[in-house]
Amino acid sequence: MQKQQKTIEQKNYEKLQGKHELKRPIAKNCLKAFLVGGLFCTVGQAISYFYIYFFNFTEQTVGNPTSATMVFIALLLTGFGIYDRIGQFAGAGSAVPVTGFGNAIISAAIEHRTEGFVLGVGSNMFKLAGSVIVFGVFSAFVVALIKTLFGMLGG
């Protein structure tokens, strides 16, 4: 489909809008995301050392309980309304780590709480995070399939 030509008024308006548009502070946002995301990762590292020290987890196996704990902490922080403030400040820094996953689940659950436990919370809780779970499970399946095939071919 051919792109419609813009009229002079439209072009002028675009120029005017461009002049008044607030510039996004990309470098500042990146720095904030880096610092807050890094802080989350530091906490995660401390938690994994805690599990290594006091429980029978090795570096190989400590990932699962650490992720679960981080998600749990994110759930609590979201429930108390603290995570939203962190999210506003840090942007992607709070969304990319596994805590963002916990936030996505609990915020959807809180949002639909009034619609009931089954049709509200149950059916909407994974509205945002469901795609992440499906993607993770499916990609794990594909990788496992490829590995198995290579293993069979390689003997």
Task: Tell me the closest approach of the beta carbon of residue 153 to other proteins, in angstroms.
Answer: 22
Sole window of 19-27, 31-39, 51-59, 111-119 interacting with other proteins (rule: CB under 8 A): 51-59
Q: Which of 13, 34, 49, 138 binds other proteins (CB under 8 A)?
A: 49
How many H helices and E strands in the chain?
8, 0
Task: Please identify, using beta-carbon distances, which residue of 49 and 135 lies nearer to other proteins.
Answer: 49
3-state secondary structure 91-122: CHHHHCCHHHHHHHHHHHHHHCHHHCHHHHHH
Asked if residue 107 lies in contact with residue 82, where contact means CB atoms within 8 angstroms, the answer is: no
The dihedral through the CA atoms of 50, 53, 56, 60 has a sign that is: positive
Q: Which of 12, 42, 64, 139 binds other proteins (CB under 8 A)?
A: 64
3-state secondary structure 17-34: HHHHCCCCCHHHHHHHHH
Q: Name residues contacting other proteins, limited to 78-137 (CB under 8 A).
A: 80-82
Residue 76 binding other proteins, by CB under 8 A: yes
Task: Please identify, using beta-carbon distances, which residue of 4 and 56 lies nearer to other proteins.
Answer: 56
Residue 50 binding other proteins, by CB under 8 A: yes
Which stretches of the chain bind other proteins, using CB under 8 A? 49-50, 52-62, 64, 76, 80-82
